A and B are shown apart, each in its own frame.
Chain A
């Protein structure tokens, strides 16, 4: 029974995606109704996922699936974040399509397919399953990025993402092959068993394999030096998709990245040294890019790179005593809430064809729409890590973990990077509050996103006062 409950959210989301796809053929179903159906499915999945009480690792249907999947507290929370991201992205999309007219019913179905792949990804305990789920997720996302195919900017973005994603996929399969050559198995458990008897560096195939797999991961989370695609792709994708990518994809990949890294101290010990430099470079490269941006979407994309850097700091420190994976998940949750909040707000403030998207456009928002401006300010403060928001607690845990693991320098550099990031987060607040309005910020149609924005703004504080999730 436990096995089934563990898999049930995955089944709900997967089946929901297929049902939505079938329903899309019935033209009568309107945009609003499809959105509501998608929201309902996500809500059901969330409720079920919340009920799963996996205190220890479960291998659902170990016999049938041959131990490909594993579920525990870590995957549960990662799943919750992903499902919640999907839910909010649907809310965002509903508002977005009241002003942008390229909607067709498969949109929600694709979001759900992507979410399904992500849920599977977090639970993977084996490299082939990992690859399959990674591709389920990626294919859906490729389509979503280029959904508005008449728009040249979207086409460019999807081309970039597809090409580079294909490279990353190739790296990953190559790495898997090498690992298989060394271990004769692709299961994480067997790899760990192999590493406990043989040293990591003694087996070149293992070293090469792990290297290639990690490169693929670094690409997916947009870490230095594989970060350059993010800004263009996030900018080119439709707004709700960008929000979904920035949060859910990152959560799924980081969850499996952490799962993979902590399979063995040997594996981690070798790579941690490099991850250290990658984390530092990711933070600073992200900041440098973000400071120069004028478009909000591009700024958020670049700041996403910086947050990847913080998460890498947490990964470097992972594996020491108690609060380990919890730190990563907590930070991901805090980041997801704030990012989705901003995207939800932008989806109804952006206007037709996302015409309002630079800092300049948001001049004086506080005078015209004070509640939206206040919510955006809360999200910005959370991303910048100002207490008492969730973002502050997330940074606190990461820095505490880094210091405890003995990486004082890394902690200090993370702080320096936070100070730098203050520049562009505050810039938006300054625009909204300290300038005179030039726009009316009119919105059209019935719209769900403002509700989502308000809800998330409350969540920023609610999560801030909630202890470490694991």
Chain B
């Protein structure tokens, strides 16, 4: 029954996307096709959610040999690491179809293809297969920004495409290098992640491969100083593409670091962890401060999203269980909250044709439901207790303090910056005096309300009762870290080997 569930989740949207492109159909029909496909994927995703055992290994696995001579296979699977990311990739899409309208069916086709590729990248357990999906998910974004984006869309789309392709080609070299090392050590070829995890990599080329990997993922996350494409792309992209980029694609970057880099390059990772952690913290603070200064609503949210991505990435670099679990949790928390924020912003843009914060005001009086939803998502994004964001950020900062006190403190201060810009923005947009434009603003329709409501409920449920979600991811996180930790054990045998080791290295 569940044998091909992942394949269906990947190729159902992709085929639907090509169908929309090739078959003659109207816009509304294309939107309906997209919605139906997205809902089917949600149903399949929920099946996985309720049948997922969370034992630590891969479940729902599929495997077909593609190129046996070089060990490339079509192999898929879900484990605790990919589980929540997969849920985010599967369940957030219907919102985008229900809330946003457009005059072009290519828009829906691109979204469908992007969704399939994203789920493929999350579910792939073969590195080459992962790479293929990773690249494919970029193409719809390229077309969406280029075709339907804002006034300087050309600049933005070329910037993001060249940046990310440069990153991923270097990742390809690193992947091939790992495969070749595996070939030398065992005599056979494989790109399967479980095989490659057993490798012992060290030395100059390994460091280079590690840097190539991190380069690719740092661009995607985006980590300071590789974030410069982000404000342009987020601002120029149509809302659906911004939603894809911020809610899901950036998370796949974080996920890929945990999935591939952490287990394979454990030693290199420990060596560079502090540097990377600083890069995360600096990015957080820089983007947070930049967000305060923005006049464009979307640009502000873009910087805020980048700032929070910094904290998620920081969670990996701390290399302890609290922070890693926090990261996996925060991936979903951030995906839901940012997703809702960008979609609501999309509604503002659609109805009032402006994104300048100065033009807005008093929306709360005109649209109480809208304002409430926005407030919940915003508070989750700044990590208010009782929302999903709190659990993740709390765990990460706890881990960060354990890792390095300076970083922990700095990470803590960014939360304050976050609260500052968010509340200030909220005050200017939702309270104060009504403006000419907001005068006509109407509240969410019943359908729109029903669309967003489940996510808002989810945000609160995840904030109050996180245990069922944590139970599913914790074993895998533990297992993923076990390898790193045992290696540290061998070097320094003490009560807290990880800390010792890291302190020694500094």
Q: Which residues of A contact B (CB under 8 A)?
A: 322-323, 374, 381, 385-388, 392, 396-397, 399-400, 403-404, 408, 411-412, 415, 418-419, 422-423, 426, 430, 433-434, 465, 467-468
Mask: chain B, 54-72; 1 = CB below 8 Å from A; 0 = not: 0000000000001111100
Question: How far does the Cβ of B300 sit from chain A's closest Cβ, in whole Å?
Answer: 27
Whether A426 and B158, one on each chain, are in contact in the complex, defined by CB atoms closer than 8 angstroms, is yes
Q: Which residues of B contact A (CB under 8 A)?
A: 21, 66-70, 128, 131-132, 135-136, 139, 143, 146-147, 153-154, 157-158, 161-162, 165-166, 169-170, 172-173, 176-177, 179-180, 183, 205, 208
Whether B67 and A408, one on each chain, are in contact in the complex, defined by CB atoms closer than 8 angstroms, is no
Q: Could you say which of B68, B136, B157, B166 contacts A419, with CB atoms under 8 Å apart? A: B166
- Given the interface contacts A419-B165, A423-B162, A430-B158, does A396 sit within 8 Å of B147 by beta carbon? no
A415 to B177, CA, bound (A): 13
Whether A408 and B177, one on each chain, are in contact in the complex, defined by CB atoms closer than 8 angstroms, is yes
List 27 A-B residue pairs with CB atoms under 8 Å apart, sorted by A's residue number: A374-B21, A386-B135, A387-B131, A396-B128, A396-B176, A397-B70, A400-B176, A403-B176, A403-B180, A404-B183, A408-B177, A408-B208, A411-B173, A415-B170, A415-B172, A418-B169, A419-B162, A419-B166, A422-B161, A422-B162, A422-B166, A423-B162, A430-B146, A430-B158, A433-B143, A434-B147, A468-B70
Q: Could you say which of A415, A418, A465, A467 contacts B68, with CB atoms under 8 Å apart? A: A467
Whether B177 and A403, one on each chain, are in contact in the complex, defined by CB atoms closer than 8 angstroms, is yes
Q: Could you say which of B21, B69, B153 contacts A467, with CB atoms under 8 Å apart? A: B69
- Given the interface contacts A419-B166, A468-B67, does A434 sit within 8 Å of B146 by beta carbon? yes
Residue of A nearest to B133 (CB): A387
Chain A residues within 8 Å of B180, by CB:
400, 403-404
Question: How far does the Cβ of B403 sit from chain A's closest Cβ, in whole Å?
Answer: 32
Whether B154 and A408, one on each chain, are in contact in the complex, defined by CB atoms closer than 8 angstroms, is no
Question: Which residue, A374, A386, A397, A411, has most C-beta atoms of chain B within 10 A?
Answer: A386
Question: How far does the Cβ of B177 sit from chain A's closest Cβ, in whole Å?
Answer: 6
A323 to B70, CA, bound (A): 9
By secondary structure, the A interface counts as helix
A255 to B288, CA, bound (A): 58
Question: Which residue, A374, A422, A465, has most C-beta atoms of chain B within 10 A?
Answer: A422
A422-B165, A426-B162 provided; 6 other pairs, C-beta below 8 A?
A322-B69, A388-B136, A408-B205, A422-B166, A426-B161, A468-B67
Chain A residues within 8 Å of B135, by CB:
386-387, 392
Chain A residues within 8 Å of B158, by CB:
426, 430
Residue of A nearest to B131 (CB): A387
Whether A400 and B70, one on each chain, are in contact in the complex, defined by CB atoms closer than 8 angstroms, is yes
Chain A residues within 8 Å of B146, by CB:
430, 433-434
By secondary structure, the B interface counts as helix
A392 to B66, CA, bound (A): 15
- Given the interface contacts A400-B70, A434-B146, does A411 sit within 8 Å of B176 by beta carbon? yes
Question: How far does the Cβ of B445 sit from chain A's closest Cβ, in whole Å?
Answer: 33
Chain B residues within 8 Å of A426, by CB:
158, 161-162
A386 to B162, CA, bound (A): 12
- Given the interface contacts A399-B176, A404-B180, A415-B170, does A430 sit within 8 Å of B154 by beta carbon? yes
A465 to B180, CA, bound (A): 21
Residue of A nearest to B145 (CB): A434
Chain A residues within 8 Å of B68, by CB:
467
A430 to B70, CA, bound (A): 35
Question: How far does the Cβ of B165 sit from chain A's closest Cβ, in whole Å?
Answer: 6
A411 to B170, CA, bound (A): 10
Chain A residues within 8 Å of B179, by CB:
400
Sorted nearest first, the 10 A-B pairs with minimum C-beta distance are: A387-B132, A434-B146, A419-B166, A467-B67, A415-B169, A400-B176, A387-B135, A403-B180, A404-B180, A388-B132
Question: How far does the Cβ of B68 sit from chain A's closest Cβ, in whole Å?
Answer: 7
A388 to B129, CA, bound (A): 9
A434 to B148, CA, bound (A): 9
A368 to B132, CA, bound (A): 30
A139 to B503, CA, bound (A): 72
Question: Which residue, A322, A400, A408, has most C-beta atoms of chain B within 10 A?
Answer: A400
Residue of B nearest to A385 (CB): B169
A467 to B157, CA, bound (A): 33
Residue of B nearest to A387 (CB): B132
Chain B residues within 8 Å of A423, by CB:
162
Whether B173 and A403, one on each chain, are in contact in the complex, defined by CB atoms closer than 8 angstroms, is yes
Chain B residues within 8 Å of A419, by CB:
162, 165-166, 169
Chain A residues within 8 Å of B157, by CB:
430, 434
Residue of B nearest to A415 (CB): B169
Question: Which residue, B68, B166, B205, has most C-beta atoms of chain A within 10 A?
Answer: B166
Residue of A nearest to B154 (CB): A434
Chain A residues within 8 Å of B165, by CB:
386, 419, 422
Whether A465 and B139, one on each chain, are in contact in the complex, defined by CB atoms closer than 8 angstroms, is no
Residue of B nearest to A384 (CB): B165
Chain A residues within 8 Å of B169, by CB:
385, 415, 418-419
Question: How far does the Cβ of A418 sit from chain B's closest Cβ, in whole Å?
Answer: 6
Question: How far does the Cβ of A299 sit from chain B's closest Cβ, in whole Å?
Answer: 17
Question: Which residue, B154, B169, B173, B179, has most C-beta atoms of chain A within 10 A?
Answer: B169
A387 to B136, CA, bound (A): 7
A396 to B168, CA, bound (A): 13
Chain A residues within 8 Å of B143, by CB:
433
Question: Which residue, B143, B162, B172, has most C-beta atoms of chain A within 10 A?
Answer: B172
- Given the interface contacts A400-B179, A419-B162, A423-B162, does A434 sit within 8 Å of B153 by beta carbon? yes
Chain A residues within 8 Å of B172, by CB:
396, 399, 415
Chain A residues within 8 Å of B173, by CB:
399, 403, 411-412, 415
A259 to B153, CA, bound (A): 49
Question: How far does the Cβ of B321 sit from chain A's closest Cβ, in whole Å?
Answer: 35
Q: Could you say which of A386, A396, A404 contacts B139, with CB atoms under 8 Å apart? A: A386
Chain B residues within 8 Å of A408, by CB:
177, 205, 208
Question: How far does the Cβ of A9 sit from chain B's closest Cβ, in whole Å?
Answer: 27
Question: How far does the Cβ of B237 sit from chain A's closest Cβ, in whole Å?
Answer: 13
Question: Which residue, B68, B135, B136, B179, has most C-beta atoms of chain A within 10 A?
Answer: B135
Chain B residues within 8 Å of A468, by CB:
67, 69-70
Residue of A nearest to B132 (CB): A387
Question: How far does the Cβ of A310 sit from chain B's closest Cβ, in whole Å?
Answer: 13
A419 to B173, CA, bound (A): 13
Chain B residues within 8 Å of A400, by CB:
70, 176, 179-180
Residue of B nearest to A399 (CB): B176
Question: Which residue, B132, B136, B176, B179, has most C-beta atoms of chain A within 10 A?
Answer: B176
Chain A residues within 8 Å of B147, by CB:
433-434
A399 to B132, CA, bound (A): 16
A9 to B173, CA, bound (A): 40
Residue of B nearest to A321 (CB): B183
Question: How far does the Cβ of A364 sit from chain B's closest Cβ, in whole Å?
Answer: 11
Question: How far does the Cβ of A289 sit from chain B's closest Cβ, in whole Å?
Answer: 19
Chain B residues within 8 Å of A412, by CB:
170, 173
Residue of B nearest to A470 (CB): B69
A396 to B175, CA, bound (A): 10
Whether B176 and A465, one on each chain, are in contact in the complex, defined by CB atoms closer than 8 angstroms, is no
Chain A residues within 8 Å of B177, by CB:
403, 408
Chain A residues within 8 Å of B170, by CB:
412, 415
A388 to B131, CA, bound (A): 10
Residue of B nearest to A381 (CB): B139
Chain A residues within 8 Å of B128, by CB:
396
Residue of A nearest to B204 (CB): A408
Question: How far does the Cβ of A415 sit from chain B's closest Cβ, in whole Å?
Answer: 5
Question: Which residue, A322, A392, A397, A403, has most C-beta atoms of chain B within 10 A?
Answer: A403
A386 to B139, CA, bound (A): 9
Chain B residues within 8 Å of A403, by CB:
173, 176-177, 180
Residue of B nearest to A464 (CB): B132
Question: How far does the Cβ of B149 sit from chain A's closest Cβ, in whole Å?
Answer: 9
A397 to B208, CA, bound (A): 20
A404 to B182, CA, bound (A): 11
Chain A residues within 8 Å of B161, by CB:
422, 426
A469 to B384, CA, bound (A): 58
A91 to B68, CA, bound (A): 36
